[in-house]
Structure 1
Amino acid sequence: MEAFRLFFKDGIGVYSGHVATTKLHAHHATEIIYCTQGQHKIIDNSGKENFSVLSIIPHDIKHQFSCHGNSIPVFIFMDPFHQFSERLKQTYQLDKEIIGLQKLPNEQIMNEFKHWIMGKEIDVMHYTRLLVDQLTGHHTYSTQSDQRIVNSIQHIKESLSQEMRIEDMASKVHLSASRYAHLFKEHVGIPFRRYILWARMQSTVESIILGNSLTIACYDGGFSDLPHFSKTFTEMFGVAPSSVLKG
């Protein structure tokens, strides 16, 4: 069995490894959690315990995860602007509540993730899409995306190593900063600055997976230094980057 598996591409991140527990944390992604054996436990910010075989966690919700025995967790992170997140939000009315399911949506799909954990190469994006299809009843939702925000997202992803001010982004699309901030959060689901931080995290992790050193990946991703990246990673995922990343 692989020590850990990690996939990060096009707004989707999937991690699996021996993580028995995490600290209380929150990140800017919609998350699906599944364990290979039995239930896992999610504790929310109020201390409420949720036991389930599959959890769906809205973005920016503080939570703590734990599983026991030989069970291996699979964490699937989805950019809040990604169509998979949009579909889950609309199906489960995701807002502040953690969704816990007591039955897996499709054993065959989950077995493919088990094979991936064991070292088999699979099309992770394809099976993530199939899982979301199962969870949302195969529904395809059409979202009314504002092209100004779509263009902004693209610009952010192309400019991560640069300083980005909301006033400058608003000016590019001929809006006031306050109107732009409202429109951005309405369409993306999280505020402008938080999205930039999440985009920088995605870019840095993708760069590390491609074989770049942690220092180069952090610099290209827009983090000021390694401690800044490490602190942000731990706050977002509840574990230190050294425990899940090589670089």
Structure 2
Amino acid sequence: MEGMLAMSDINCIKFLRNHKSHSINRIAKNLDLNWRTVKKYADSAQLPSETIRPKRGMMYGTKWGEMVEDWLTEDQMLQKKLRRTNKKIYETLVANGFEGSYRTVCNFIKSWHMTSEEENDTRHERLQHPPGEAQVDFGTMEVVKDSHAVDVKCLVMSLPFSNRTAAVALPAENQECFLTGLKMLFEEIGGVPQQLRIDNLPAAVIQPRTTREEAIYTDAFLQFMAHYGFQVQSCNPYSGNEKGSVENKVGYVRYNFLVP
């Protein structure tokens, strides 16, 4: 695969080369790219600039396009049966002095919907789990202590690529227990994952991730992350399925090892 790459691919190559010290061969294999293409972007000081071609026509950069965009944005909040049809939008434009054709309006509406769908797709991450990725989460387990059933917290780590699981019982879900538990899990699996996916755990997250802003982490967790050299990725809001592997493993640990 040769030629011009998307900026996201180029940034990925730069990150793997400069921050992870991966070899050209390894990057090319992992990203399924040609060796020469990876070499070109990995060791080049210059990044190619993306060429954005302005769209032309009476619907672009004019009040007509702005009016249609406003209507389409409003209609997204309504049920489909209540939204304006292309014909209705065209008739309303003509009533306001529009002199273009019906096809021009339909093409503009189609282009707007395609762009809107692409923007929505960027808000949802692909649920692919490469080697070196781990997920962690707390679970509440019931155990017997002194003839009484009591709840304990269990920090569970899942490695989806290899389907491996590790868990450690802790007295609480606070920051000290969380960091201590991570250290114990690293020792259990015999290494440190390259990337750690977490939910909005109060022990590590000050401000949860939103659709517009990244999560803000505690200073202690950032220092811990820098010390062990892994990257962290918080889940999108209302997207618990992004860490479905560890949630399943929490249940597996509970029902197979910690049933009173």
TM-score tier (shorter): under 0.3
Higher relative contact order (CA 8 A, sep 6+): 1
- Give the alignment's TM-score, normalised by structure 2: 0.26
TM-score normalized by structure 1?
Answer: 0.27
